[in-house]
Chain A
């Protein structure tokens, strides 16, 4: 004789999103790359007008990309923070809010400044978030970098 069951739904049909800290990581790497390029770009001086204009143009492009990617990084982090993580994650990660807050502040710092130290600190925070995120999903995903 077959036993009869009531079926209870434990399904998702809400507004699903795909979450992955990789988006923030890629933007963070771009910030760090642009920061390094800005620090390394040699100033040719003003004697050669064409060289100087080319220098200004390149430096401006680096700065614009750094600005854009830092904002993108902050946006991606805020989406993870506010949409993915739930209150129960605080129980196993009491530093969760502080980690995201620090990461978001570092995005701002990297926009305003040209600081290799802050760019590396931003990457360190993103790595910490990567580890918290994948632990919350019960998966082991190694930290990798594209650069």
Chain B
């Protein structure tokens, strides 16, 4: 699936307006370092694009690539998410 990036939280890897190819998460074993699209845990209508920082028994910790902390709302804000909320994995 093609995904349009809206915002700069994944800068410099993906920038605002980029079109990125994702594949269904069902076809992947999720791993740290992967860039994924996921459902926002508190705003179901939102799809987020983030990188998996870590995975443990409590869920998946997502972060933005942008080092500016104001540029990314991620698991630092909303905590770990369930693997069921991961929709797709970036295919470079």
Contacts and interface: CB of A to CB of B under 8 A. Distances in A.
Contact of A10 (B10, B68, B69, B77): B10
Interface string B61-74: 00110011111111
A16 interface: yes
B6 A7 contact: yes
A10 B2 contact: no
Given A3-B2, A8-B48, A89 B7 contact: no
Contacts of A5: 2-4, 19
Task: Tell me the dominant secondary structure on chain A's binding face.
Answer: loop
A57 to B, nearest CB: 44
A6 B14 contact: no
A14 B16 CA distance: 18
A3 B4 CA distance: 11
Contacts of B3: 5-8
Contacts, number: 84
A83 B53 CA distance: 18
Contacts of B68: 136-137
Interface in A79-137: 83-84, 86-89, 136-137
Size bin of chain B's contact surface: 20 to 34
A81 to B, nearest CB: 12
A13 to B, nearest CB: 6
Interface of B: 1-10, 12, 14, 16, 19, 37, 40, 46-50, 53, 63-64, 67-74, 76-77
14 contacts: A6-B47, A8-B47, A8-B49, A10-B8, A10-B10, A10-B16, A10-B64, A12-B7, A12-B9, A14-B72, A14-B77, A19-B69, A83-B69, A136-B67
Interface of A: 3-19, 83-84, 86-89, 136-138
Given A7-B3, A8-B48, 13 more contacts: A3-B2, A5-B19, A6-B1, A9-B7, A9-B47, A10-B9, A10-B72, A11-B9, A12-B7, A12-B9, A14-B76, A17-B70, A138-B67
